Amino acid sequence: SGGGLVGIVTDVGKDYAKVRAIIDDESSVSVSFANTSDTGIVSGDLKLMDDGVMNVTEVLKDAKVTEGDMVVTISDKFVPGILVGYVTNIKLDSSELTQSGQIIPVVDFKHIDEVLVITQLKDDM
C-alpha cells in the first residue's frame, strides 16, 4: 500500500478481511504532525479523492503546521506512527479558533493492489 495507512478492518473471514478505507466518507483518524506534535483529525471525503486530497480539521490555531509536514496516526484505533500523508495546505478557520486544510495521502487509492494487515492489537504492544 505504499507504506501508509489504508484503513481499518471491519470484518474478517477464514480467507478474507474487509477494510474500510480512510478515504471513505465515514472514516476519520486522529493524527499528529511529525514536525510539531500538534494534533488534528483527518477525515475521508470521496468527492475530494478525485482531487487526490483528504480533509484535516481541528488543528489548534497556534499550531505551527506548514505545507509538506508529515501526518501520522495517534488514534486509539491504530498503531501510533503510521504514515497517513503530507499537508498540502492549511489555514485559519472563520471562527479563528482552529485551522483546517487538506493532506495528500501517501497511499495511491486508485492503484492499490495489496495491503498489509497488522494483526497485533494496540493493547498488546
Let me know how long the chain is.
125
Q: To the nearest whole number, what is the mean pLDDT of the chain?
A: 87
pLDDT in tens, 17-56: 888 888 888 889 999 998 898 999 999 987 887 888 999 9
The Cα–Cα gap between 30 and 107 comes to 17
Closest CA to 72 of 4, 124, 2, 123: 4
pLDDT in tens, 90-122: 999 999 999 999 999 998 888 787 777 766 655
| pLDDT (0 to 100) of residue 32 | 96
The Cα–Cα gap between 20 and 34 comes to 25
100 near 59, Cβ under 8 Å?
yes
